[in-house]
Chain A
Amino acid sequence: MATLAAGTASRRRNNTGPAHRGDWRLAAVLILPATVGFIVFGAVPVFRGIYLSFTRFRILTPPRWTGLDNYRRLLSDDVFWKSLGVTVEYVVLSVVLGLAVSLATAVIMHRLTRSTVVRGIVLLPFLVSGVVAALVWQWMLDPGLGIVNIVVKALTGHNVLFLGSQGWVIPTLSLIGVWKSMGYNAILIFAGLQTIAPQIYEAGRIDGASEPRMFRYLTLPLLRPIMAMVVVLTVIGSFQVFDLVAVTTKGGPANASNVLPLYIYSKGFTEFDFGYAVTMSMALFVLLLTITFVQLRLLRANESDTN
């Protein structure tokens, strides 16, 4: 290793000027930790994962090669497809609602106040740990004792099983998710709004455009790169939802909130069916890869659009 490095160094010395002499050493030292980290925690697990997805792996005994069995099982596993459907429903609700709420919040902040205190308050839910937020919401939504249900009962005369009925559980969970991430997204959009030059609005006003019209034809197009980034982040984050569901419903009732990460976890860690759990992770990986790729293409299109 050392001789090899020395050899490379002597060959290189001829091509580089004295100012850059020895740069490769510093570069190697600086890159080394990240490279080791990437290989140990990134590359090796991915390749081992790909291998394990073709095996029956019960973790306590060595994996046994089973070819495409796990993938065949995946195609005919009703719970997996239902779980995927539930996850997509959660993602769509979270992204649409999250985006609308964050945008509205950011625009209102932008128009009414520059106060850092207000910005801090808006950001507050994001700073709360996911498990704590889930527990607090679970208490507030409790059908018998929760404050939300006391209000709902006073208004309608009925309790609502927010987390306990098939119809309500995913909308409720995505609202909690939106509540939690809304502040962060709003701050991102707010920062985007601040980059828009006031002269543009001035020009709009001179041309006699109304506020809603300016929002539609000036603000939104100019915000598109930021919005696209927020969408990408929200989609990936929502697909990976775990703590919220694990704390509040554990996938119930009747698998109505059994999102994909939770299903993967329970196959792996409660049934010791790691081979199949890895296969599902691979499916999720490919799915996210595709979605992100498509979104990045859209993002690039947006940038050229606004310039």
Chain B
Amino acid sequence: MSRSRFIRAAALTAAVITAVAGCSGGSSGDSTEATTVNWWTWSPDQAIAYQQCVPAFEKANPNIKVKITNYNVSDYFTKLTSGFVSGDAPDAFMNSVTFLQSYAGQGQLLPLDDYIAKDKLDLGQYAIGAEGWKYKDGKQYALPMDWATGALYYNKDLLAKAGYTDKDVASLNWTYDGGGTLWKMVKHLTVDAAGKRGDQPGFNANTVKSYGLGNIESTGDPFGQNAWGWLLPNDGVNIPDKQQWATVFNYNDPKVVKSVQLVRTLANDGFTPKLNQFTTANSQQLGSGKVAMAVGGTWEAATYAGLKNTKIGTAPLPAGADGKRALMTNANGNNMWAGSKHPDQTWKWVKYQESEECQTTAAKYNASLFPSIAASMKALSDQQTAKGVDFSVFNNYLTSGELVPCPIYNNGAALTNAMIPQFEAYFTNKADESIFPKLQEQSRTLLAEEK
């Protein structure tokens, strides 16, 4: 008796568990009701900034609700991929050009050409970045969201003490043959415990109190973008053989080898901290006087300006031997997911997000992005200048024609994962120049891999 009751109870429990586990995502495709457009970003600052655009958009489109979600960048792309597979990826999302090939090549992104043609959207309004989001099939897969490159941030007091003016920093150059005036300045700015400067006799590299430059050996992508890789193109040293869909990365080019050697020697000789010596951000090292200058991203301008007790100057990246620059510029894109259930509503939001109105609102909110639209960039720059932050460098970047788009290539994640450890080995003196021919061959194989 009791046994059969137990069986019934157990069966019932099992049934309930099955029902709960099988709960389904309710359908919400009804066009008369409000639809929700999901949008993702990995930048917490930009999530708040774009949130400022939502009220105006929802007022103009009462049937559309926008939900912005932020995931940490280290989980972002994994989360996105699992969303593609399970069918609940966001309707639109911020993407890095590194993943254009793997997502577009596998049919996960919606081409925007029809929408752009229908709404007669002028891609010319974006000063930079639109071209980079064109895939091999000739279709446009994203609207550019922003632009970003490097700048030289410096501690004004430390430079004044060493006898340098703002103008000296702004007119620096860097050459693959010897490092140019930047290298000279970095050495002079380095001070050891006894007060000797790096270019004076008796300088002790083992007791450095203040380094001339923050470490530039980190390698976030296959060619050191966000660190050493920012210097090379200015002097005409390019690692990919082509701007788009490169077939080989020329690591063994003598100019590249010389450049990378220069960077390693600078650290070995004690003029920059060693790789991993400091775990704090460059901005904090600059703020505490541990380094006199740092190569940083334009997106960090507000962070550097906000440092307390330290006067920070901003200079353009050093020019090449010919006095010209080639500033490698990365533009994130606003992609639409091919599996979205509400592509029309999503397009409305994406188009609004990349309009002058929203770009201005978002950029001015916390200066976490530099808009591709010139008028919005000017609005941001005016606002920051009024606050006392020097934005002239960034304005000049946009008007000087020195910005060049980041290379686009196949198999970005695999190349990054393969190259970073090998450069780390080189920069920490565990490997020598003999690895470069091998890296070059490896890049050829990985770049050729079609998915």
Contacts and interface: CB of A to CB of B under 8 A. Distances in A.
Partners in one complex: yes
Interface of A: 22, 25-26, 29-30, 32-33, 58-61, 79, 142-145, 159, 161, 163-166, 251-255, 258, 266-267, 269-273
Contact of A269 (B81, B108, B430): B81
B106 A60 contact: yes
A144 B413 contact: no
Contacts of B276: 143, 161, 163-165, 253
A266 B417 contact: yes
B11 A254 contact: no
Contacts of A29: 7, 10-11, 14
Contact of A166 (B11, B274, B430): B430
Contact of B451 (A25, A30, A58): A58
B279 interface: yes
A156 to B, nearest CB: 13
Interface string B1-39: 001101100110010000000000000000000000000
Contact of B280 (A145, A164, A269): A145
Interface string B89-105: 00000000000001100
Contacts of B430: 166, 254
A19 to B, nearest CB: 12
A271 B78 CA distance: 10
Nearest to B431: A254
Interface string B343-358: 0000000000000000
Contact of B277 (A33, A161, A267): A161
A186 B95 CA distance: 49
B425 interface: yes
8 contacts: A60-B108, A161-B276, A251-B421, A253-B275, A254-B421, A258-B421, A269-B78, A272-B81
A267 B413 CA distance: 9
B414 interface: yes
A254 B422 contact: yes
Contacts of A266: 417
Contacts of B277: 143-144, 159, 161, 164
Contact of B428 (A60, A254, A267): A254
Interface in B262-298: 274-280
B424 A253 contact: yes
Given A60-B84, A161-B277, A251-B421, 5 more contacts: A29-B7, A79-B418, A143-B279, A255-B421, A271-B414
Nearest to A61: B106
A254 B78 CA distance: 23
Contacts of A254: 421-422, 424-425, 428, 430-431
Interface in B382-414: 411, 413-414
B203 interface: no
8 smallest CB-CB distances across A and B, nearest first, come from A164-B276, A254-B425, A254-B424, A60-B106, A255-B421, A271-B414, A271-B413, A253-B424
Contacts, number: 93
B77 interface: yes
Contacts of B451: 58, 61
Nearest to A169: B276
Contacts of A272: 81, 102, 413
B117 to A, nearest CB: 27
B85 interface: yes
A138 B254 CA distance: 39
A179 B451 CA distance: 44
A60 B275 contact: no
Interface of B: 3-4, 6-7, 10-11, 14, 77-78, 81, 84-85, 102-103, 106-108, 274-280, 411, 413-414, 417-418, 420-422, 424-425, 428, 430-431, 451
Given A32-B14, A254-B430, A143 B81 contact: no
A252 B108 contact: no
A270 B78 contact: yes
A30 B411 CA distance: 49
B428 A253 contact: yes
A74 to B, nearest CB: 16
B11 A270 contact: no
B72 to A, nearest CB: 13
A144 B280 contact: yes
Contacts of A251: 421
A252 B10 contact: no
Most A CB contacts (10 A, CB to CB) among B102, B417, B431 go to B417
A61 B84 CA distance: 11
A60 B337 CA distance: 13
A252 B102 CA distance: 25
Contacts of B421: 79, 251-255, 258
A170 B3 CA distance: 56
Contacts of B106: 58, 60-61
Contacts of A273: 414
Contacts of B279: 142-145, 164
A61 B274 CA distance: 43
B275 A164 contact: yes
Contacts of A25: 7
Nearest to A56: B451
Contacts of B414: 271, 273
Contacts of B107: 60-61
B209 to A, nearest CB: 13
A271 B10 CA distance: 44
Given A58-B451, A144-B278, A33 B77 contact: no
A292 B56 CA distance: 63
A26 B11 CA distance: 10
B81 A26 contact: no
Nearest to A252: B424
A244 B280 CA distance: 20
Contacts of A267: 417
